[in-house]
Amino acid sequence: MKKRGFLLAACTVGVMLSGCGSRETAFSPSESCVYVAKDGALSSALVEQTGGISVDENELKQYLETAVIHFNEEKGAGALAQNQKNAERLPAALKSVKAGKDTVTAIFDYASFEDLKAFGETNDNEDTSNSLTALEAKPLSEAIADGWFSEGELVKADGSEAGTDAVQNEKSGMAVRSEGGATLMVGGKVLYRSSNTELKDDSTVSLPETGTAYVIFKR
């Protein structure tokens, strides 16, 4: 975050503040991260320590909803903070807010990576939990057809050598290509990743600040 945390900064405007998993398996982040679901949908989580500050979850939610509505209006969308059933996805949407004893957590959904990046750069947000400049997700078969991967570029989740045939024969994978640093959580078990990444757990990878990174996970 720039200067101070977005969530805790709400305190300075009169809001007193009192957990990465997948949407498919209950997205319950324990740290700030970017999340790619099994269908390629994008979310982000901001998780900050309260430092002993008392939290009012409802007031925090109202503060964040106002920030989201302002962003959506500037993008030409409706004055809404949450996605509506059977409606076009909003540029940004507040998915949930949780005020725990020691942390506050906010989860946002996005229509595109461009929206995720733009929302993180707004004056209301100033999210510096990631430095991503590009991120794209598509079915593995499409990524292979588009020539995403070079020989020897991918390793198995555990860091051991991944054979080209094994990657190409994976039938149900989703591929993510990114540039810039972040903690990335995905909606299934990580199968393969580029060697410049670090596996944090079965569905979470640390992305490098420089270079292009790849993650393949099971849908």
Give the model confidence (pLDDT) of 46-81 as tens digits.
998 888 888 789 998 999 999 999 999 999 999 999
What's the pLDDT at 127?
73
Closest Cα partner for 215 from 169, 188, 44? 188
Give the model confidence (pLDDT) of 118-147 as tens digits.
999 887 766 778 999 999 999 999 999 999
| 182 has a pLDDT exceeding 70 | yes
| 20 has a pLDDT exceeding 60 | no
Q: Mind giving me the DSSP string for 86-143?
A: TSPPPSEEEEEEEE-SSEEEEEEEESSHHHHHHHHTSTTT---S---SEEEEEEHHHH
Handedness of CA 53, 58, 62, 67 (dihedral sign): positive
What's the pLDDT at 126?
63
Percent of the chain with pLDDT over 90: 63
What's the pLDDT at 8?
54
| 19 has a pLDDT exceeding 80 | no
Residue type, 43: S
Q: Residue range 154-171: average pLDDT?
A: 88
Q: Domains plus CATH for the chain?
A: 6-120 (no CATH), 134-218 (2.60.40)
Binning pLDDT at 50, 70 and 90, where does residue 100 land? confident
Rounded to two decimals, what is the model's pTM?
0.87
| 3-state SS assignment for residue 212 | strand
CB-based contact 46:30 (threshold 8 Å): no
In the block, residue with structure tokens 């430092």: 51
Beta-bridged to residue 97, according to DSSP, are: 106
- What is the rounded distance in angstroms from the CA atom of residue 218 to the CA atom of residue 52? 39
Higher pLDDT, 168 or 188: 188
In the block, residue with structure tokens 């949450």: 82
- Give the mean pLDDT of the chain: 86
Binning pLDDT at 50, 70 and 90, where does residue 23 land? very low
